[in-house]
Amino acid sequence: MCGISGIINKRKTKVREADIVAMNQLIIHRGPDAEGYFFFENIAFGHRRLSIIDLSENGKQPMNYLENYTIIYNGEIYNYIEIRNQLKELGYSFHSESDTEVIIASYIQWGTDCVRKFNGMWSFALFDKIKKLIFCSRDRFGMKPFYYTEIDDLFIFGSEIKQLLYFQKLKIANFPVLLEYLIPDFEDHTNETFFKNIYKLEQSHSLIYDLNENTYKIFPYYELQIDKTLANLDERDSINYFEDLLKNSIMLRLRSDVKVGTCLSGGLDSSAVASIASILYRQNSIQKFSAFTAKSIEEATDESHFARQVVEKADLDWHITEPSYEEFYKEIDKIIEIQEEPFGSPSIFMQYKVFGKAAENKCTVLLDGQGGDEILLGYERYYPAFLLSLNKRDALRNFIYSSANSGLSKKQLLYYFFYFTSPSLRTAVLHKRFRFIKKKYFDLLNKQSIIQSCASYSNIVNLQKTEIKSLQLPHLLKYEDRNSMAHSIESRLPFLDYRMVESSLSLNNNFKIKNGWTKYILRKSIEPLVPKDIVWRKNKLGFNAPESLWLSSYRQNMLKVIDDSNIVHRISDFDKLRGDFKNLNYRIMWRLYNLAKWEEIFNVCYE
């Protein structure tokens, strides 16, 4: 896991060394173990290394191969051993034990289609001296970031936005993106960022830069595949299939030359990963597998008692962090700077502290349960899509079950049904909640995002694809990447092995939700390993912050910061906002505050 920097001078003159060095210095946290540079004619690469596989000098980057190929790479290819063995049979030789060298050899053998063979997470730029091009790619689900921009005569790319901001005289707010975050709470669902003219290479896409013509093209290399035969498996075979795949995914992600542990919230996903990983880990180690938990100071949002049960049953080496209000108040500016763009709730702070606790304990790699909800219909707001897939009789029966086996009352479930399936109702509700937003700015909202979200509820697989590709997973992965890398920690996500994703979407929907139990197939898979109280939990929290305690104490400070925001004043009727403020829900308060703080920290302006 590392950080990358790149500059192409379109005037075909040398890149200023000071510029690439400055870019690289901004991401030391992503790779504290080493740095390296590569210069050739009008291009410059920079790299920061976090050593995970092959800790020797042989694994350093930028890495050259056969004198004609140079790569800078951030990520892990978990099946690199299998691919390397295949390439050896084809006559390739290797001088390191790293997955980096495997990527280059794969490109030489299979061209840009090589990424289809990779099981992992990646963001890389590979210079092909023979073809005079730079081949860039980002993994299937966007676990590793890749940002790019064009400023004057430079094409610039890197792992973080701040590297690109270094070249900008003015940091200009991208208002359509900003408003979609503030009002419908959509983030990272397009290739645009909160900063105007800074873009991300979307997940499942590659970019080829032609150095002769100074042009580039972006194209998709992957689309989620549905295996219709899996839907025909009966319940027991479906459970066995899923269980075997999850174990294999976790096993691959235990490959490392440094210490590996796991995040453990006490929820279903993290408990499954921790329990299975502990068993697999102990097959090759006499040490206990390490787990890291954030404990909330608020009883309603504290899951640590569930985590404790997992720790005791799986015999884990447990480490707890309990963030206080004082820490939150002291460090929140730092978290906003790390995330680079506004984010949805203070719970990001809890995740940040978990990775910090892992760093304190020299645990460089952490598994996490991210993605389980999206691939197995784990969110309660997915119930409407499931109910719509049933005939009337089964829908009524499952409506009752869904209320009984979740945290939703029948009234709440009915509201969810209409709210998440009706664009006009959702827009009307948002208009009422955000009545302080000036009409001309409310009208800037891209209503298609809301329409797309509501339409996806008519088909479960389409809903899952939409959530995975745009409306849910991308921003969660961004949070994960920034929080882990801020502490020089590599985060690995077993549920997002592409085989897991495709298979989970392909399995019979009646085994994803059964009798109102979300993620039923996962519950049954881990039933022998995980305490019953967790397997059949009805509520879902994750590393939830005690936001009602924190934000109620912080409310007046928040209003003052919001009042100082030029952007908030521009888009809102501030008298209305001030009058409504005490009645706003905490998430809306937070988004307004986070937006104002982001504006202040990054010195953002508008045209």
CA–CA gap between residue 111 and residue 120 (Å, rounded): 18
Name the residue with tokens 């299939």: 241
Indicate the burial class of 446 (C-beta count within 10 angstroms; 0-12, 13-18, 19 or more).
middle
The sheet carrying 147-151 orders its strands as: 34-40, 43-49, 2-9, 154-158, 147-151, 199-200
CA–CA gap between residue 142 and residue 480 (Å, rounded): 11
- Which residues touch 98 (CB under 8 Å, ≥6 apart)? 53, 54, 58, 59, 63, 80
Cα 548 to chain centroid distance, Å, stands at 25
Which residue in 363, 289, 290, 371 sits closest to 121, CA to CA?
Answer: 371
Pairing type for strands 365-367 and 260-263 reads parallel
Residue of 2, 114, 263, 454 marked catalytic: 2
CA–CA gap between residue 346 and residue 330 (Å, rounded): 13
CA–CA gap between residue 508 and residue 513 (Å, rounded): 9
- Catalogue the long-range contacts made by 463-469 (C-beta closer than 8 Å, 24 or more residues apart): 463/382, 463/385, 464/374, 464/375, 464/377, 464/505, 465/224, 465/505, 467/374, 468/141, 468/224, 468/374, 468/375, 468/501, 469/203, 469/204, 469/224
Which residue in 352, 329, 333, 345 sits closest to 482, CA to CA?
Answer: 352
Which residue in 353, 372, 356 sits closest to 296, CA to CA?
Answer: 353
For residue 394, what are its two tokens? 């089964």
Catalytic (active site) residue 2: yes
DSSP, collapsed to helix, strand or coil, labels residue 10 as coil
* Dihedral angle over CA of 490, 496, 498, 504, nearest 10: 160
Return the ∠ at Cα 192 (arms to 191 and 197), rounded to 5°: 125
Whether the CB-CB separation of 250 and 367 falls below 8 Å is answered with: yes
Name the residue with tokens 């408003």: 179
Q: At what angle do helices 235-252 and 268-282 cross, to 10 degrees?
A: 60
Q: Active-site positions?
A: 2
